Structure 1
């Protein structure tokens, strides 16, 4: 990788008012607003635009929120199925059409290796294709750089294959035999279902993820929540913002028109369930005795959403069909805390426990002690630094098609104001 002269004079660099890092929906939304305002900038993308949508989603991937929530700037969902759930290729077509709707100054195949302060007060953005400087930097690289696997995964017998969500595209990627899927966020439950539909043998380690209704009282639950203003509530309005930021997404599916995922029903129909994985050694896999608690907590979340909708319907005198009473169709007879993978026919483990961002290249004081960005609606205290595309950056929809465009508009509007009167706004940052 080239090493650039970071002490070179500013005149030796390409200086622009704004550098955007990342060309997913967040970075391209920022570019849309900057282009419309006539602000010179560049979007640097280490792969190709929308790389994750194109190359890091499994074949049967689909949205879990309805198509009408796709609201990229100037480009709402254009199709004829607003209540459906776009498949992977349709999502790619949607984001590509959005990008084609304007002329973004995009540089693909450019990896940012360092962002730091220059002596002049500007930011230096060092890459494998040259050195930029900028007055403002928007980090829109997302939070999916590093797949999470626990340290004890290294102690599992090497004869048992280990894959991560990012490695899975189709059931054929998983070796013959039983696959233990670990994690019950949106990815975990959908990949478990994908394998079962293909006739594969699966077990599931159930974590603390919440679940949601799909169709409830005649409408998709997300339609009700949107109408109720639930998605407009900001992170500051949450009872515990830190806990909200860390919370796993509710699990449900958009597959085949959308449906709920009740793990108790899967267990009733033969899916082996365990609690959270706590350790591995050789062919031994250990679990916490928390299966029933995790199922109960998921149901509590599910029922909480139903109660919110019931209250809204009652308070507003809405004519809506009555709901079927909730009942638990299965519960564990015992908590299994240890198994021998060999005895259970487990030949693979599919880790679905999330990702972490990698900000090792970011040498600017804008991260907390845990490495999380410190900001208010994407605007950092460090003048000129911004983040976009993170979950709960401002609202529930910040990391999604629903609200990323609104967040991009807010951040770019702040940049436009600061470029117009930088010294005044630096003092009042």
Structure 2
């Protein structure tokens, strides 16, 4: 049975960043991946998908974007190839097509069971990401047979759906992009709007993430946040990988013909019921936009030499009259797309490391189980911990902890 110091589970950007940092410190390890490098980017993204972050922000340990379009946005396939190139650059010890079936404690550390043999390791790093499982609400079970339903991981293009209209549930990045694409393809689209964080794609002459990166907003430390649980639960960014300055917001969707509704609160066969909260959701998103852009304005004013354009804020969203219920069959809606977010999932983890909600209990990626670590969790240590760019900080921190633990074990 193979023995290694550390097993990393997952060869996405976080797992590869972890591998690079361990290699820099001369620590023996192996990376187990259920498919190929960047598997989820290859198989769980729609055809027109592009990263939400500009290419220059795809910074990983020892690896930066060096292509001709630093301000562009990679497709999912391009980013998967980018990760493959990264792995090859330092000869990452990856075992592809090796799904993990179980991880359990042993007197010497851990035993990791796979379908291609087992591994014994003193340390395990979970790098399977925050987006393992679609968070489809329980009321989806109340949808009548005959109406197709799927998540963004299984959506590919308008032509891949049955004929007819589409109800898209969720107004963060995936929901608005899919709704917009469907509307431009001539589909009737109803969008059930929940919590979201509205931001323009560009502001004052720069990409919005350029400002957040320069102003330090993405580096905000979890210890500086008054309420970490609330910070981790903040609505996701309503962004799209596009050069259009405004991006895709609810106003853009209305102009494309998308009908806006409040949060989906009930399903009874073919009848969808919506909450009377569209105005509240839009108002909360506008408040977040005003706060963030105000912080950028103050940073620009206080930073000499910043090439800041005029404060060209996008107009407020005009809230339309929203339906309280829609008969899907009568209105010709044949498909429901559940763009309701994702959750991590660890069915193979036979260790007391999860809370009652199935989330890993941790402090900056260090769990209560000695030798068990995690990376790629939401606001793990910094605001951008789930961003591609944020993994490099958490990987370096965890690699130092693992190196220290190994040194203490050797000294003892």
Range class of TM-score, shorter chain:
over 0.9
TM-score (norm 1): 0.91
Distance in 2 of aligned mates of 1:270 and 1:134: 55
Distance in 2 of aligned mates of 1:319 and 1:201: 42
**Do the aligned residues in 2 keep the contact of 1:206 with 1:275 (CA within 8 Å)?**
yes
- Aligned partner of 1:387 in structure 2 is 374
- Aligned partner of 2:44 in structure 1 is 56
Residues 182, 29 of structure 1: alpha-carbon distance in 2 compared, 3 angstrom cutoff: same
Residue 272 of structure 1 and its aligned partner are, at CA, apart by: 0.7
Distance in 1 of aligned mates of 2:58 and 2:161: 32
- Aligned partner of 1:270 in structure 2 is 257
Pick from 133, 145, 153 the counterpart of residue 158 of structure 1.
Answer: 145
**Do the aligned residues in 2 keep the contact of 1:267 with 1:330 (CA within 8 Å)?**
no
Distance in 2 of aligned mates of 1:392 and 1:202: 33
Distance in 2 of aligned mates of 1:78 and 1:257: 23
**Do the aligned residues in 1 keep the contact of 2:176 with 2:253 (CA within 8 Å)?**
no
- Aligned partner of 2:59 in structure 1 is 71
- Aligned partner of 2:279 in structure 1 is 292
SS at match of 1:373: coil
**Do the aligned residues in 1 keep the contact of 2:189 with 2:259 (CA within 8 Å)?**
yes
**Do the aligned residues in 2 keep the contact of 1:84 with 1:257 (CA within 8 Å)?**
no
Distance in 1 of aligned mates of 2:124 and 2:380: 17
**Do the aligned residues in 2 keep the contact of 1:85 with 1:257 (CA within 8 Å)?**
no
1:189 pairs with 2:173: no
**Do the aligned residues in 1 keep the contact of 2:73 with 2:242 (CA within 8 Å)?**
yes
**Do the aligned residues in 2 keep the contact of 1:253 with 1:259 (CA within 8 Å)?**
no
**Do the aligned residues in 1 keep the contact of 2:238 with 2:249 (CA within 8 Å)?**
no
Residue 205 of structure 1 and its aligned partner are, at CA, apart by: 0.7
1:85-100 equivalent positions in 2, closer than 5 A: 85-100=73-88
Distance in 1 of aligned mates of 2:82 and 2:108: 39
**Do the aligned residues in 1 keep the contact of 2:99 with 2:114 (CA within 8 Å)?**
yes
Residue 338 of structure 1 and its aligned partner are, at CA, apart by: 1.3
Between 253-262 and 278-287, report the one with greater CA deviation.
253-262
Residue 384 of structure 1 and its aligned partner are, at CA, apart by: 0.5
Distance in 2 of aligned mates of 1:272 and 1:257: 22
1:232-271 equivalent positions in 2, closer than 5 A: 232-256=219-243, 259-271=246-258
1:145 pairs with 2:107: no
Distance in 1 of aligned mates of 2:219 and 2:123: 28
Residues 324, 36 of structure 1: alpha-carbon distance in 2 compared, 3 angstrom cutoff: closer
RMSD, matched Cα? 1.9
Considering only CA atoms, is the larger Rg found in Structure 1 or Structure 2?
1
TM-score (norm 2): 0.94
**Do the aligned residues in 1 keep the contact of 2:72 with 2:243 (CA within 8 Å)?**
no
Unmatched runs of 5 consecutive residues or more in structure 2: none
Unmatched runs of 5 consecutive residues or more in structure 1: 1-12
1:316 pairs with 2:303: yes
1:348-387 equivalent positions in 2, closer than 5 A: 348-387=335-374
Between 94-103 and 268-277, report the one with greater CA deviation.
268-277
Residues 352, 104 of structure 1: alpha-carbon distance in 2 compared, 3 angstrom cutoff: same
Residue 170 of structure 1 and its aligned partner are, at CA, apart by: 1.3
SS at match of 1:339: strand
Distance in 1 of aligned mates of 2:315 and 2:12: 41
Distance in 2 of aligned mates of 1:85 and 1:405: 20
The CA deviation string for residues 227-277 of structure 1, in whole angstroms up to 9 with x for no partner, is 111111112212221111122321022225564223034225532111111
Total equivalences in the alignment: 411
